[in-house]
Each structure stands twice: as C-alpha cells, then as structure tokens.
Amino acid sequence: MTNFHFLTTHVGSVPHKDPVELTRRLSALLDIPCWLQLPRRNYLENIYTQYAATLPGAVVDAEKEKAVMRTDGDFETQLEAFYQSVIDDNLEDFALTPDCALGFFALLDELKSKPTAWVKGQVMGPISFGLTVTDPDLRASLYNETLADALVKNMGMNARWQVRQLKAVGENVILFVDEPYMASFGSAFISLSREQALGYMNEVYDAVHGERALVGVHCCGNTDWGLLLASQADILNLDAYSFLENLALYPSELRVFLDRGGAVCWGIIPNNELIRSETAASLAERLHAGLKLIAEKASAHGVNISVDELSQRSLITPACGLGSTTVEIAERVFDVMAETGEILKKG
C-alpha cells in the first residue's frame, strides 16, 4: 500500500508545441513529473497514433491526419516480425521516438541530473485505440482478433520499455493506461463483454507489474467504475470534477479495491474555461465534500470507507488532458492544481 496524500501529477497532453521549458517548470511544480504529449506539434503526437508505428498493419498519414489498420499487402510479414520481437522480448522494437513523443525525451533530459522519487508515463489503452483506429472499411480494429491481440501486446511492450527508461530518472514509476473510450462501455456502440474488456486491460497491466511499476487507468467520462475497480490497476484516475458522485455508487467495489492497496487519482481540476471561475480553495473544498459523500454513501450500505483513508490514497490531476485547450488555460490549470494540492496536504 502506498500513501500518496494528494500528490499532484498530470494526465499528459498540453497545447504547447515545445516541451522543454514546460517540462522544466512542471518538474519543479508538480510532485510527480510526467512526460508531455504535444498533439499540436504534429499529428504523430496524437494519442491515437503515438503508439502506432510499431504495430503490424498500421498506416499513419500525417499529412491527411489519418491512421488505419490494414491486413493486406505485406501484413503477414509485418505480423511475423512483430511476434518475433515479442518472443525475443526485444523492447527496443517498441520504443517511442522523438518524432512521435518529444516530451518523453525532454523529461529524461530534465531529470537525468536530478532524479525524483516518483515519475509518470502513459500509454494508450488497447480498447480505446482498437475502437478508434479502424481498418479501411471503417471496422474497429479491436473487432479483428488478430489485430486485437497485437494491439494488446504492442501497448504492453511499449509500457514496459517506458518503465525501464523512466526508472533511470525516478525511483518509483507509475504507468497510466489511457482508456477514454471506456466511457461508452455497456452502450450499443461497443460490442465487448466485461470478460473481454478485463482480459485486454489486465494483460497490459500485468506487463507493467512485471517491471515492478504501478499501473493507473484513466477514463475521463462516466463508466462502469466497478469494472475498472475490478481490474488489476493500482490507481483509478477519473474526472472527479464532473463524475465524483458516480464513484460513490460503487462502495463495495471501492472497498475491495482499497483493500488490495488501490489509490484514486482525482481529476478535480477542470481542464477548460471552468478553471477561470474556480480557485484552489474552492476545488479543495469540492474534493473534500466529495470524499465525505463517498464515505457517507458507503456507510449507508454497511461499508467502512473513511475520509482519512481516502485522503491517504489520493492523487490529484486535471480532469483530463489539456491538448485541446489554450496555453493560457493550461498554465492556470497547473498553477491552481499545485495550490490545491498544498491546501489538501495541510488539511
């Protein structure tokens, strides 16, 4: 069990185009440094293409800003080479490169002379990638069994590669797996069973655990929180500004999650114009009220979850990534988040 007690970190994306100065600032401002994704720098930094280069059949057209999965042409040759790399455990074949993840290397450079206690990386979840990136006939790649297996293994191998690099600059590593599409789980838009979803997610999580790192799962919409709490993730990251009350509907599942050492990363800092009308004090009060609500709802169901226990198992982030907002708003989000974290630590 790890006591985080409101340590601050970031989801990943920012509206900036150069990571160096912001990486330096955030490494000093936040408790847990995180590498920055720069979707406005070029299309290769889009979260749905950032990890595609090592996938068999992936075709990324940066000019047209389009990515598809193809199973024609030399796909079988690519697939054979892919699985050979998996069998050989050649993590370098799944490495990020500066053209698609410049922020990753900026973070390594920034921290190499001043290692930190904690450092965070992130990878796109196979479910969200597989439901967003399609084949040429617009069929979700996750519904192709061959592609689905490759997606899961690709994200697991990339996550392991990240952990090994980050361990050179951080004593402890957290690798977040981003699954925004899980907000649609259970709807008519996703033909995926609970067992399939857990199987795909847990294979990636187990890969990270094999590198002796913690795993976080990030979903920025409302979802079946019971499913994510039942996964092998160590940290649940949600948009707590909008959906904290929904988590209170799962007291028994949350209790089991906490009993196995789980922590919650509260995205309590709005990542849009709403930050203009909030202060660190108002957000700290909002989160504290939310923790009290969860404790009260749990008690009403005969489940013991205290505010103090939740506080010890809490981290703080923006509600979601900041890639779609302005630089001005992003800068305010970071400043307010740091102040909010300080208030909560003292309270």
Q: The CATH number of the domain where 143 resides is what?
A: 3.20.20.210
User: Is 77 contained in some domain?
Assistant: no
Is residue 106, in this structure, part of any structural domain at all? yes
Counting the structural domains of the chain, the total is: 1
Indicate the DSSP class of residue 235. Answer: E
The pLDDT of 118-143, averaged and rounded, is 92
What does the pLDDT look like over 196-212, one tens digit per residue? Answer: 999 999 999 999 999 99
pLDDT at 188: 64
* DSSP for 77-113, written as a single string: HHHHHHHHHHHTT-GGGG---TTT-HHHHHHHHHHTT
**pLDDT for 165:** 98
Number of other residues whose CB lies within 10 A of the CB of residue 127: 28
The answer to the question of residue 97 being in a domain is yes
| 189 within some domain | yes
Is the pLDDT at 184 greater than 90, yes or no?
no
The structure tokens 């952990």 sit at: 163
Query: Is 212 inside any structural domain?
Result: yes
User: What span, in angstroms and rounded, lies between the C-alpha atoms of 124 and 104?
Assistant: 14
Average pLDDT rounded to a whole number, residues 226-231: 96
Q: Mark residue 98 as left, alpha or beta (left: phi above 0; alpha: psi -120 to 50; beta: remaining).
A: alpha
Q: Kindly write down the DSSP assignment for every residue of 29-59, as one continuous string.
A: HSSS-BPPB-TTT-GGGSTTTTTTTTSTTEE
Instruction: Please give the pLDDT value at position 4.
Output: 96
The boundaries of the domain holding residue 134 are 7-54+90-346
Show the tokens assigned to 217.
Answer: 């799962």
Instruction: Let me know if residue 17 belongs to a domain.
Output: yes
Q: Is residue 75 part of a domain?
A: no
**Residue 70 domain flag:** no
